[in-house]
Amino acid sequence: MSGHTHNPSGEGHLRPRLSKLTMVAMTFAILNTWICLAGSLSIVLPSGGSVAFLYGFIFCVLCNFCLAASLGELAAIWPTAGGQYHFQWALTTEKWRKVMSFAVGYINICGWLTLVTTEGFFAAQFISAACVVASNGNYTVAAWKTYLIFMAVLTFGTLSMTFGNRILGAWNNLALYWSILSVFVASVVLLSTSDKTDPKFVFATFQNETGWNDGIAWILGLLQSALSLIGYDAVLHMTEEMPTPSRDAPLAMVYAVGVGGTTGTIFVLVMLFCLTDLPGIVATSTGMPIVELILQATGSRAGTTFLTLMLAICFIHGTNGSITSASRLLYAMARDKGIFYHDYFSHIHPKWEVPIRTIVLTWVFNAIFGLLYLGPTVAFNAFISSCTILLNMSYAIPILTLIVRGRDVLTQYQTIETPWKFGKVRGLIINYIAVLYVFITSIFFCFPPVLPVSASLMNYVSGVIGIFAIFLIGYWVAYGKRTFEGPQLDIILGERPELCEATDELAMEEKQVESRKE
């Protein structure tokens, strides 16, 4: 990959200034694995208990290693900002590549736009919790107040990722160090001040209050673990700003999952050992169980407020990274003429060297989308939960295409210089694990969390996915089918002419096969 992005309608270009460490840092900041797990105590423990929380998380980490490795193998060949939908274009036959690439692109885009909302509201909720603790309960959490805090976080991220692009690498590194410092401080504080539970509770207690059978309850308990590991494809959407993306992008994704898995496992153990008053923690007025856990352990409102704000800053960093990644993905889709006013949005600002217009588009979408927080809680939670399914689908569809077509489709693009490849047998095993994980979890994540089902306890994620599918089909028929051109070969193949020739030959062969069938 050349490093300077082809940009037909803008005057500037994206510069390759992000190292492997920087991308691990940015991705880990987006994942915020250990803090996401900290916010899920009241959700996971009734659905499998500590067994589902600890071992379920480790299971998700192992499966996400397979997902990240599978995507890394594709990124080593096609390191572009389009990521998954560019992979889909390259792997699909001539007949289906346009519609499949478009679909994967929008599944990925919707997942990322929703993830920005998720990160921003997590930050806002932790800030609100800090206000409750600092005011000794005099501050009342209200939806409109939380939304205003969310807008402040969103606006800060938009401005900093627009005008601070030249220090993006240092910013991301700071986010990594801050998160690791935060998990260290929180762990030391909890372990040194809290009473401890029985090791049997931590390692061997299964609890099922869902009404489902034990197997389904355990799977439902994986949702928060899956959410805490989502978003490492951020690396893919930043590859055009990396000097050696074919080598560094795969490693950055796998390392990010590794760091998230390590810190997450450590903090799950810390929380479970310090969890002596579950009913009191779940019923907290702060709305955040981890904040109540810290307050009970320390007995200090000042200390708890400080630690809570440390956690909030972690999610502010995550919001910034999510805005950056979403804007690059939208820019890639505009460059391929897949969104409205594509000529306008496929622009890199010549001075700031960022796609300012897609950054602003991300802000506008989330400012409007965030208004759902003022409505029914179940509706907002359904949209937020959908980001896990959408992003996982965008990971799995290109991998499934590779399985269906056979790994020989991939090996023809690989050379001796290709830095990340697994071979036929080992690669197929990794691919199968990745796809099966997404397939099984996506189905069960649409199940109601408890039985019997009521309107307030219903899981409306399947409805959200259905609405998205209707929108996608309508948008494709009315607009995308006519305008979407797909990625240009000199971009998707990293400006390597020998691979362009190989793809041209493959396309000719596919056309000949199709003509014979007709």
The pLDDT assigned to 470 comes to 95
Average pLDDT on 57-75 reads 96
Indicate whether 510 pLDDT > 60: no
- Largest interatomic CA distance in the chain: 77
User: Which residues share a beta bridge with 47?
Assistant: 208
For the stretch 129-166, pLDDT in tens is: 999 999 998 999 999 999 999 999 999 999 998 988 77
CA dihedral 488, 490, 494, 496 (to 10 degrees): 150
Indicate whether 481 pLDDT > 80: yes
Residue 451, token pair as written in the block: 């039985």
The pLDDT assigned to 45 comes to 84
In this predicted structure, which of 109-113, 223-227, 489-493 has the lowest mean pLDDT? 489-493
Average pLDDT on 372-393 reads 89
Percent of the chain with pLDDT over 70: 91
Q: Exposure string (b/e) for 280-298, b if CB count within 10 Å is 16 or more?
A: ebeebebebbbbbbbbbbb
3-state secondary structure of 208: strand
Angstrom distance (rounded) from CA 33 to CA 260: 5
Indicate whether 494 pLDDT > 80: no
For the stretch 85-118, pLDDT in tens is: 999 999 999 899 999 999 999 999 999 999 999 9
Distances (CA, A) of 146 to 29, 118, 282, 453: 22, 13, 20, 29
CATH topology classification for 20-517: Amino acid/polyamine transporter I (1.20.1740)
3-state secondary structure of 111: helix
Note the helical H segments in 223-300: 223-227, 234-237, 245-274, 278-282, 289-298
More confident residue, 223 or 474: 474
Indicate whether 312 pLDDT > 60: yes
On whether the CB atoms of residues 230 and 392 are closer than 8 A, the answer is yes
More confident residue, 26 or 508: 26
What crossing angle do the helices spanning 301-335 and 20-31 adopt, rounded to 10°?
120
More confident residue, 50 or 456: 50
Q: How confident is the model at residue 515 (pLDDT cuts 50, 70, 90)?
A: low
In the DSSP assignment, the letter for residue 182 is H
The pLDDT assigned to 68 comes to 97
Tell me the domain boundaries of the chain. 20-517
More confident residue, 513 or 72: 72
Q: Exposure string (b/e) for 300-318, b if CB count within 10 Å is 16 or more?
A: ebebbbbbbbbbbbbbbbb
The pLDDT assigned to 171 comes to 86
The pLDDT assigned to 491 comes to 54
Q: Phi and psi at residue 47, in whole multiples of 5°?
A: -115, 60
The pLDDT assigned to 129 comes to 95
Q: Give the global pTM.
A: 0.90
**For the chain, counts of helices (H) and of strands (E):** 25, 0
The pLDDT assigned to 4 comes to 41
| 3-state SS record for 98-126 | HHHHHHHHHHHHHHHHHHHHHHHHHHHHH
Average pLDDT on 362-366 reads 97
The pLDDT assigned to 69 comes to 96
Indicate whether 189 pLDDT > 90: yes
Indicate whether 39 pLDDT > 80: no
- Give just the sign of the alpha carbon dihedral 221, 226, 228, 229: positive
Indicate whether 272 pLDDT > 80: yes
Indicate whether 6 pLDDT > 80: no
The pLDDT assigned to 283 comes to 80
